[in-house]
Chain A
Amino acid sequence: MFDTLNPCTIPPEDEALRPHIRALAAETVARLPAETRARSWSGLDIEFSHRLGREGFLGLTLPKEYGGAGRGPFARFVVVEELLAVGAPVAAHWIADRQSAPLILNYGTEAQRKLFLPKIASGEIFFCIGMSEPNSGSDLASVRTRAEKISTGWVLNGQKIWTTNALHADYMIALIRTSGTVNERQAGLSQLLVPLKAKGVTVRPITDLTGASEFAEVFFDNVKLDEDALVGKEGQGWDQATAELAFERSGPERIYSSLVLIDTWVQHLRRVGRIIGPAAQLAGEFTGKLMVLRAMSLAVTGQLAAGESPVIEASLIKDLGTSYEQEVPALIAEDIGSHPDEEVSVEFYRTLNFMSRIAPSFSLRGGTREILRGIIARGLGLR
């Protein structure tokens, strides 16, 4: 089982992107403290997202006719890896570049592709994903937000919650009930493109336990949408959203969220000269596991490049990767707390504390651990 997944290397022409993006990332993070860089793909800098677009680092996998670079998933892997490694602030464009663009390319109409893809590739417009609702988290098929068909298009009513980036996004791609009742579950769900500036849309930020407001509640009160707000086929929203989640779950961002913390800790160890013994063992554990998990993410990237849809493998990687990301702050805390007489910088302590607080969210966003394990079990033929 899963024996088609093998190590693969990054093609040289994609590897060639590395020096340029590396320099750009280094320049951008030079003045950011570790605790800000530790926000990883939650770190926001709209100007930087514009710049990545201008310099051709967004929409790498989109065809050239839609403003993309016409390259494969490995090109995107290299760019994303370099950005995440140093904690460059990528949140503004992240969702658009990762999943909204591929979704529109795959299911959108020609008009939608022409309208949205070039602007995503140039970093001009940002997206968010509206799946979760107050009563529909893991049980996504129970969404209640409804769109009624009218002569000119749709009228939308309801509420989404925990919507990352809603505060800065121009559009939401929302999973909406377009026919039937909640009892019909998956059937009757569609994906609609909602302009967040539209009349009747209210975005209310939610403060998280670090004091930041990266997600929001989004309310729809008789929001009128044109007919072409529909993405893909009416009633196919569930299948489309599921395919979208495969993109969402397999990328290096499901492994790299704690890298800035690891590097801050490594610098601390070098500074205080504690570079042998248990600390060295732990540093070895972190890097050895990272090596293998990265190989796994690359292998799935290889499958995506070959046009496959590795849904179960993506779930496996997300569970493994987020477990790794979550154990890092706990193990570093143990190491630091076990040397109470060692001087720890305020920046390091703040970074560690931020990571301890936020790490539980790694296995919630994009589908919980229990749900992923259910998908893996189904892949094993158990359900």
Chain B
Amino acid sequence: MVENDLLTNFIKMLECAAPLEVIRKIENDDDIDYSWNIFDSSGFLDILVAEKAGGAGLSLAAAAPLIEELGAQLFPAPAAQTMMARALLTREGIEPPSGPILLAGYNAVIPFAELAGHALVAWQDKVNLIKINTTILRPMGLYGSRSAKLEFASAPEVLVSLLITPETLRASAAVLRAAEIAGMAGAVLRMTVAYANERIQFGKPIGKQQAIQQQLAILAEQALLARMAARLGCAAGLPPTTEAAAAAKLVASASVPLVTNIAHAVHGAIGISEEYNLQLFTRRLYEARLADGADGYWATLLGARHLAGGAATSLDFVRATSPV
């Protein structure tokens, strides 16, 4: 009950902070200040921070539905990453900087990086808090996207180094990205089913065609799979384990081509137009799949651990590494 209230309030806050027309403006060059101020003053950015450090002390598992909602509501900034960064920093007694914070790998393209002021960055063997400036920020300049990569040929200027490992940082980022994918996949499923019931061709809704029903069934399976993957990743706690993160991101990422292909196929030409909202989700899904390690990265890592380990059976490996 309490958790449901929390989710309801969170959604209300998001709808107020970033309605669709605001999201579109931010995607096309506006700054994030208006939306971010509302979000920040709501207190939700500190839900993962321990109570004694002034946060809500929620477990990652309890926060999972909220993080998915950031995807479903298309919040246009690295908010989940900031929540995680604040938790990781305060656990080590470091005061987090204000504004959006990225969880970043060296060289990798990061969604909404253009809007962030700081990043937790893996560089060589350490995780460091750095300030982002224009010399290291390389925007991708894609239509409707604020993705950028952080490029530094020599060591970046470090504000403070953390005790967590680069592996933990990447696992944390992957779990959040999986949750974001899950939220978007769920929203895309709802949108696509609704459209199939509305769009009439040959005298009846296209959703009455078996060919479309079979496609929508696959879309529903994939959306569910992505959500289960995200919840599993979050169940490992904070910070997440590498194995749980691997399973979460590989399964969520692998759902992206099916989810996007089916949603676009069912929508027909209208889904290709900018004005229609489907593309707000599918554009982000392509980038989210790539970000923080795609399917093959995590599959290779997980597979290597299994092969190098001594588990008698594959199920033993799964049970030993699964959080549930």
Residue count of chain A within 8 Å CB distance of chain B: 48
**Inside 8 A of A336's CB, which chain B residues have their CB?**
290, 294
Q: Which residues of B contact A369 (CB under 8 A)?
A: 265
Q: Report the separation of the CA atoms of residues A333 and B202 in the bound assembly, to the nearest whole angstrom.
A: 37
> What distance in Å separates the Cβ of A315 from its nearest Cβ neighbour in chain B?
15
Q: Provide the bound-state CA to CA distance between A278 and B141, in Å.
A: 30
B34 within 8 A of A: no
Q: What 0/1 readout, one digit per residue, does chain B (211-224) give for beta carbons within 8 Å of chain A?
A: 11000000000000
Distance in Å: Cβ of B105 to nearest Cβ of chain A: 5
The reply to whether the CB of A337 lies closer than 8 angstroms to some CB of chain B is yes
**Neighbouring A residues of B271 by C-beta, 8 Å:** 209, 360
Instruction: Using CB atoms, name the residue of chain B closest to A35.
Output: B142
The one of B200, B265, B273, B293 in contact with A209, judged by C-beta atoms closer than 8 angstroms, is B273
How long is the Cα–Cα vector from A161 to B270 in the complex, in angstroms? Answer: 10
Q: What's the nearest-Cβ distance from chain A to residue B123, in Å?
A: 12
Check A341–B109 contact: CB distance below 8 A. Answer: no
> Cβ of A47 < 8 Å from any Cβ of B?
no
Query: Considering the complex, which residues of chain B in the window 261-316 have a beta carbon less than 8 Å from any beta carbon of chain A?
Result: 261, 264-265, 268-269, 271-275, 279, 282-283, 286-287, 289-297, 299-300
Interface string of B40-58 (1 = CB under 8 A from A): 0000000000000000000
Docked-complex contact A341 and B105, CB < 8 angstroms:
yes
Judged by a CB distance under 8 angstroms, whether A106 is at the interface is no
Asked if residues A338 and B300 are in contact (CB atoms below 8 Å), the reply is yes
Chain B residues positioned under 8 Å from A132 (CB to CB): 269
B contact residues around A342 at 8 Å (CB): 107
Taking a contact as CB atoms under 8 Å apart, the answer to whether A360 and B142 are in contact is no
B274 neighbours in A (Cβ, 8 Å): 206-209, 211
Contacts of A356 in B (CB 8 A): 286
- Asked if A333 contacts B140 (CB within 8 A), the reply is no
- By beta carbon, the residue of chain B nearest A326 is B261
Complex contact B292–A340 (CB within 8 A): yes
- Give A211 Cβ to nearest chain B Cβ, in Å: 3
Instruction: Judge if B201 is at the interface, Cβ distance under 8 Å.
Output: yes
**How far is A335 from B300 in the complex, measured between Cα atoms in Å?**
12
- A366 smallest CB distance to B (angstroms): 11
Residue A137 contacts which of B211, B269, B286, B292 (CB distance < 8 angstroms)? B269
Specify which chain B residues have a CB less than 8 angstroms from the CB of A373 in the assembled complex. Answer: 211
Q: A343-B107, A346-B141, A357-B286 are in contact. Are A137 and B257 (CB under 8 A)?
A: no
* Contact-residue size bin, chain B (C-beta under 8 Å from the other chain): 35 or more
How near does chain B come to A257, taking the closest CB pair, in angstroms? Answer: 14
In this complex, what residue of A is CB-closest to B250? Answer: A338
CB of B253 within 8 Å of the partner chain? yes
Closest to A134 in B: B270
Query: Please, which residues of chain B bring their CB within 8 A of the CB of A368?
Result: 265, 268
Is A137 a contact of B268 with CB atoms below 8 Å? yes
Chain B residues whose CB sits within 8 angstroms of the CB of A135 once the complex forms: 200
Asked if A162 CB lies within 8 Å of chain B CBs, one says yes
Q: Which residues of B contact A138 (CB under 8 A)?
A: 201-202, 206, 268
Nearest-neighbour CB distance to chain B for A337, whole angstroms, equals: 2
Is the Cβ of B286 less than 8 Å from the Cβ of A363? no
Q: Does B320 sit at the interface, judged by CB under 8 A? A: no
A342 and B170 alpha carbons, distance in the complex (Å) = 15
Contact code string B12-40 (vs A, CB < 8 Å = 1, else 0): 00000000000000000000000000000
CB contacts (< 8 Å) of A350 on chain B: these are 140-142
Interface residues of B in 35-90 (CB under 8 A from A): none
**Is there an interface contact between A370 and B279, defined as CB atoms closer than 8 Å?**
no
Give per-residue flags for A319-360: 1 if the beta carbon is below 8 A from chain B beta carbons, else 0: 000000010001001111111111110100110011011101
Query: Could you give 8 example pairs across A and B, Cβ below 8 Å?
Result: A138-B268, A207-B273, A209-B279, A209-B282, A210-B143, A334-B295, A336-B294, A357-B286
For the complex with contacts A330-B257, A333-B294, 9 further pairs of A-B residues with Cβ separation under 8 Å are A136-B201, A139-B202, A142-B201, A209-B273, A334-B296, A337-B295, A360-B261, A364-B265, A368-B268
Where the two chains meet, the residues of B that have a C-beta atom closer than 8 Å to any C-beta of A are 105-109, 138, 140-145, 170, 200-203, 206, 209, 211-212, 253, 257, 260-261, 264-265, 268-269, 271-275, 279, 282-283, 286-287, 289-297, 299-300
Closest 9 CB pairs of A and B: A337-B294, A338-B296, A211-B143, A360-B264, A209-B279, A337-B290, A207-B274, A139-B201, A356-B286
